[in-house]
Amino acid sequence: HPHNVSYLVDLLEEFVGKKAIREYVPLPATGDVLRTHADVSLATADLGYEPKVSLREGVRRFAEWYRDYYPNGLDADMAAYKPL
């Protein structure tokens, strides 16, 4: 099922326990999309891949891992990281 980015951010907020700073900007004319989802049919056919975890459960597990991996928050290198 396709989900929009806001839903993903909602899940992160819920499971991390922090409110995101959301900045909504107009979509660029370069072809960005409002919603997308993976077609795993080829992976299913070729590899027998069958997803067993929902997006919600996967984000919950990620948040649990994140809290365990960064018990004191981000380290200095990660906190200073600026994406391109």
Per-residue pLDDT of the chain (84 residues), as tens digits, is 778 888 999 999 999 999 999 988 887 777 667 666 778 899 999 999 998 999 999 999 999 999 999 888 888 888 889 888
Which helix (H) or strand (E) segment holds residue 3: the answer is strand 3-4
pTM equals 0.72
Q: Are 79 and 31 in contact (CB under 8 A)?
A: no
Distance (Å, whole) CA 72 – CA 30: 39
Task: Quote the pLDDT of residue 83.
Answer: 81
User: What pLDDT is recorded for position 56?
Assistant: 95
Q: How far is residue 47's CA from residue 35's CA, in Å, rounded to a whole number?
A: 26
